[in-house]
Amino acid sequence: MSNLPPDPDAPFLRACRGEATPWTPVWIMRQAGRTMNEYLELRARLSFLELCERPDLCAEMAVLACERLEADAAILFSDILLVLQPFGFTLQYVEGQGPILDPPLRAAGQVDALPEVDGGTALPHVLEAVRQTRAALRPETPLIGFSGAPFTLASYLIEGGPSRAFALTKRFMYQDPGAWHALMEKLVRTCAGYLQAQVTAGAQALQVFDSWVGCLAPPDYRELVRPHMEALFAALPAEVPHIHFATGAATLADDMLVPGVDVLGLDHRTPLAATWERTGARGVQGNLDPCALLAPPDRLAGLVDRVLADAGGRPGHIFNLGSGLLPETDFEQAIRMVAHVHERTT
């Protein structure tokens, strides 16, 4: 606990602005959940959703993970799909299956029937988790707030759960572009309010996860998604940096750099240096294959070095995995990865 305000010049925040840093800042998507012992112990008593509804425990997990890893930023403990609950969908996380949303959104008429959800007030427990996490973090550790992006959220709504081909989502987009745009606009309004409220509650940076948008052809992205990302990023508070993340999206990177995006989050299939150079992004985040953490420690060190070499020490690199930490990961390996990034770049 500290009464000091959060440090605006923490290395992670400097890197988001493209400024030089004393070392390459590093954090890990999904660093709190999944593999830390204390998290697994809590999960033996509470479901993931019960945990998400306890701001005190969310704060405890987010802070503990960050401190144990010695990461340069903490991320709010929550999930991208919680924002869909106030629209009236039942969300469940089913062992071995993943997130399930019920009823699935399949007919254009269902979009009109969706309520207008005020993202600034609909999830008070999440905002309380932001406040408690901020209060418990050291001033030098920035807190990242986040939301799912409208495409990825819509894909879960329409598929009703995880998907490989996103066939139902694409059928919806192609069959009824009017209803698709209306759905995206609704989600943009809610997510913008939700992200703004997280900043008011204490977040120093925002990440928008468009995890599955890499399934789209670039012209479809430009027609059916990009205008909504422009609206979303234009609505976010300018006083904090904005990270736009997707996986498998090497061919979309130029279009993802809409005005208001400070940092592009790249996965391991996307060439980091080439994409950085081509897009002219202020910063890039990534992009170690999460499976590298399953390699023996010396091999892991080599794989980390390869990413660092690709980034070439240029100001604006934030080290991260290409997607979230895998459940198969040994947390000690994640600790080693962070330490190695710091050692090599200090």
Q: How far is the CB of 14 from ligand 1CP (least distance, A)?
A: 22
Give the one residue of 75, 188, 201, 281 binding ligand 1CP; rule: CB under 6 A.
75
Q: How far is the CB of 259 from ligand 1CP (least distance, A)?
A: 23
Catalytic residue among 39, 156, 194, 221: 156
Q: How far is the CB of 323 from ligand 1CP (least distance, A)?
A: 4
Rule CB under 6 A: say whether 146 interacts with ligand 1CP. Answer: yes
Give the one residue of 15, 42, 71, 80 binding ligand 1CP; rule: CB under 6 A.
80
Rule CB under 6 A: say whether 30 interacts with ligand 1CP. Answer: yes
CA-closest candidate to residue 168, choices 77, 101, 85, 241: 101
Q: Is 39 a catalytic residue?
A: no
Q: Is 174 a catalytic residue?
A: no
Q: How far is the CB of 36 from ligand 1CP (least distance, A)?
A: 9
**Alpha carbons 234 and 150: distance in angstroms, whole number:** 14
DSSP track, 4-62 = SPPPTT-HHHHHHTT---SS--B--TT-SSSS-HHHHHHHHHS-HHHHHT-HHHHHHHH
Nearer to ligand 1CP, 29 or 304 (CB): 29
Give the one residue of 25, 33, 142, 214 binding ligand 1CP; rule: CB under 6 A.
33
| 238 and 259 Cβ atoms separated by less than 8 Å | no
Q: How far is the CB of 275 from ligand 1CP (least distance, A)?
A: 18
**Alpha carbons 94 and 161: distance in angstroms, whole number:** 10
- Amino acid (one-letter) located at 57: L
Using the contact rule CB under 6 A, the part of the chain among 93-101, 184-192, 276-284, 296-304 near ligand 1CP is 93-101
Q: Is 68 a catalytic residue?
A: no
Rule CB under 6 A: say whether 111 interacts with ligand 1CP. Answer: no
Using the contact rule CB under 6 A, the part of the chain among 91-99, 185-193, 219-227, 332-340 near ligand 1CP is 91-99
**Alpha carbons 344 and 340: distance in angstroms, whole number:** 6
Rule CB under 6 A: say whether 151 interacts with ligand 1CP. Answer: no
CA torsion 276→281→283→289, rounded to 10°?
A: -40
Q: Characterize the bridge pairing of strands 90-94 and 98-102.
A: antiparallel
Q: Is 194 a catalytic residue?
A: no
Rule CB under 6 A: say whether 48 interacts with ligand 1CP. Answer: yes
Give the one residue of 17, 93, 176, 231 binding ligand 1CP; rule: CB under 6 A.
93
CA distances for 193 relative to 83, 145, 187, 344, angstroms: 11, 12, 10, 39
Rule CB under 6 A: say whether 78 interacts with ligand 1CP. Answer: yes
CA distances for 39 relative to 22, 46, 97, 128, 138, angstroms: 31, 10, 20, 20, 21
Is the torsion defined by CA of 170, 188, 284, 206 positive or negative?
Answer: negative
Q: In the chain, which residue ranges form alpha helices assigned H by DSSP?
A: 11-16, 37-45, 48-52, 55-69, 108-113, 124-136, 150-159, 167-175, 177-201, 218-224, 226-235, 253-256, 272-279, 297-311, 331-345
Q: Is 30 a catalytic residue?
A: yes
Structure tokens that stand for 124 in this block: 């008070």
**What is the Cα gyration radius of the chain?**
19
Give the one residue of 38, 53, 86, 99 binding ligand 1CP; rule: CB under 6 A.
99
Catalytic residue among 14, 30, 68, 226: 30
Q: How far is the CB of 20 from ligand 1CP (least distance, A)?
A: 27
Query: What is the separation, in whole angstroms, between the first and last Cα of the chain?
Result: 27
Catalytic residue among 72, 79, 262, 267: 79
Q: How far is the CB of 39 from ligand 1CP (least distance, A)?
A: 7
Residues that bind ligand 1CP (CB under 6 A): 29-34, 43, 48, 65, 75, 77-81, 93, 98-99, 146, 162, 209, 211, 247, 323-324
Query: Which residues are known to be catalytic?
Result: 30, 34, 43, 79, 156
